[in-house]
Copies of this chain bind each other. A is one copy, B any other.
């Protein structure tokens, strides 16, 4: 209470009011709240987390849970660090700190989260790598902890979410390839029950069907999201008796491995097979250049943070217009890798 008492004396208002202002309660005048926060900033007031979280669950920390493990991050992470930058840009306005909760791929994500929640050190959470059915959503809803998911799931607790527009990507890819004469189109999916895989394959099926085509089950390749996974897909694809003339990659990290397997076998993307993928820093260096879907990870991070804060009482009034659910568009960047016209097949 020492810090709060000092603030209250300085501002000549009651300790209770200072406390309520610091905790973002609605029963404090906006002007008073601003004065208190400004003074707290000047005095370098930092609430002791342990005491506060026991009393009321306010730590000013937001956790961002991601999956790690060498099969995922073996090439470094080219996705989340940029998303974090955007998230932090928003959190900085509110003196919220972002910590990354690194859940090893060896571990059950729900058990990990249960432990993190029991430790009670975050006011809110951002979940990524959503599964088709995701018990983490129920866990956080039960505990009444504000959260947003990056990715959808069938587990519905009315939670806010943002997701990349995998439907849009599937539709645009299939339409584009079919227009160029492709009939045997392969796709890749995650190795696990990530929700995005279900969304993607379903829309690919529908889009093909609208063109009178069927998604051949033997042309669905599952892999870990890394270069080795992409290489294995390339080997498997080359071993098929009847090869596809095109492939659409759901993940951004497999293109490099796929290219390696294809080029080793003398199969050239864009000339011998059409490839459409997702953008990554490595993709800039692929030759022939990769036709890929790109998005601003930084802007995605900003939207994610704003959506979370709009669901937290202490911050909601700053973000009255943040939509609780949002499909984030990806932009097609034309490269050489899908130049192949497939009339000859």
Q: Which residues of A contact B (CB under 8 A)?
A: 44, 46-51, 53-54, 59-61, 63, 68-70, 73-82, 84-85, 88, 92, 97-102, 104, 106-107, 111-112, 114-116, 118-121, 256, 280-282, 284-286, 298
Contact = CB atoms under 8 A, between A and B. Distances in A.
Contact of A46 (B68, B115, B286): B115
Given A82-B70, A82-B74, A282-B285, A116 B97 contact: yes
Contact of A69 (B76, B85, B100): B85
A76 B81 contact: yes
B53 A50 contact: yes
Nearest to A111: B44
B119 A92 contact: no
Contact of A76 (B61, B74, B78, B112): B78
A47 B119 CA distance: 7
A79 B120 CA distance: 29
Contact of A100 (B102, B111, B120): B102
Given A76-B281, A102-B84, A282-B285, A97 B70 contact: no
5 contacts: A49-B121, A76-B80, A81-B81, A97-B112, A121-B121
